[in-house]
Structure 1
């Protein structure tokens, strides 16, 4: 966490073009520093809490004292499944410890991690990717109070890893611990980079979630010299006297800069403006206009087969279904990745949205279904109700449940957003 947040602060101070939008930038940096120091001061307690919560959620925790131990643990876990081919989403840590080389030396190959890159050009490779039983990933952050692991990315390889295979192995340094779910609002606000207000895809998972994603989860915690640093009395003394050793300050904004959170007109306009800026196709409609808008979007994207999770109102698709040749497919029993890959589109609702970053959040609730159907079809039509749009990340973090399978996305080319506003 120290490395990621320090780099983020440096980028925001010196180079980031969006830094001027945040009048609370220094407050966010102070809060991030306080989180870092809390983790260092109470690392042993947070590690015990993290392990307890991961196990309570059906996961298995492994401790690695160094790179060699981490590679050995991952290799043994992969070999224990009988797999000789996996999919992988690398992180700075997995690259640093040479995990890819260690797996390759043992005869474990990676079948690819980019569905788009193999689409249409190598059907055999794509099929192998969809059939993969094991995935190995890094983790950008881990929340100790809930046992939640988080991947932050631009392309979505991590999302595929925690959605499709049966076994998920995630490797993370103990320096990636974030104490509380609320602390994520600080972390995410500071992660803007590359001209984006937030990474395009954020995925979280807490242990094993029945009926959604892998049925087996292993978290490999790598020491990264964190506990050895704490053994240094000079470091411990500095932590005891540091001004950040108190509670995390919360003076940063909890709403989008320049917009009052109760000004719903401004919040919705910001969501539409930012969504268009990210390249999303977005429509503002009333409830009466929704079915025709869904139908029009499906026609434009050439969709003749659609999967709609339980909870999606039949009225949304009634007009489209009435057209001969169109087929509504049920995800019960659960469709395999290969079956889902043949579906043209998926229509869902959402759990929440963030205007400031043009982000939509799915949590697997009613009308959203499990992760796989929202990943594999060529087009995702997502309906957002006006009351679900918050102005900024802290407002959304407060209403999300870390135990649910959360997927945050913005600027995805294959997503059509339909914002339903009051009459």
Structure 2
């Protein structure tokens, strides 16, 4: 059930009541709507972008794109159940034998949990993330086969890899996007595409000065840390400088260049929205980084099996592994550095790279460009730590960026901090 606020009074209605044909209530893009009588109420054009409102409408309004998907999702879930169960069992055995860390198994558990969550929903929320997670699961099994060069590999391993990747491709091809579901719902509600576009694509573009200030803050954060280290500030001194800059710089940037600017995400904390943002961000982070790394690993192992693995590739793969291992070992050896890595760095970096830079770029250029550009800047900022594994840092930035888009700054911070802790585990 949904609540519409008309003439200052919230009234309860079924989703079907809002249909243009056969419904009892006429709505437009500005009609305030909410899931609860107490709100929060938002204009229909904005609220329908909210997954919960969209799901509630779709549950009572038949739309073409969902009719086939709702049958397909059970088939996909059944097809991928065995590969996912096998992966969790493999992780359990590796952890028991001390051949893998608990953090690695938790990451795989996140992937499996998100796939089950997404495929068990009547309305797809984030099929793209689910597809990337399935590809990561498939590549994990492909790596098992590749490391053995196919010798003595059980057919179930090949089946698990093939089923996971095939399910990902089918999901991408058949699952309707959120935009498509929203458009079809608007059509059923009697709202034209032009009205929908006008209501949802208006952007309060920030001035160029704010964009420049955001870029300067993003560049200034790693530069400031480098200066603090050069002057031997010590870890606590570096932490103080980091926190102070991340707290004050975004505020100064906004107030001096665009006093009327408002973030694209609400400042009011909505626990459900934050949790969904954490789930989406953590799943995408785990899926993207895992799939990226495994893709390179599988390629290298296949090349080794056919004796085409050149020396340069061997050196690069070994150097990447050593680079990551050195960074993790350095943090594990120092309790203050562990605190900075798990709390202070995530707070400061999310304030600057997501709360300021991504927010401004999304308002200026759109969501896709804003998230990617901020993630690229985030990756470049870590050049002092990673060179070969830079691509992983960019992928991390995309995951954190999606967490910010879906759940706000708190969700981005939680995902960032959780990921860092998992790497240390």
TM range (shorter): 0.3 to 0.5
Larger gyration radius, structure 1 or structure 2: 2
Structure with bigger strand share is: 1
Normalising to structure 2: TM-score of the pair? 0.33
TM-score between both structures, scaled by the size of structure 1? 0.33
Point out the structure with the larger helix share. 2
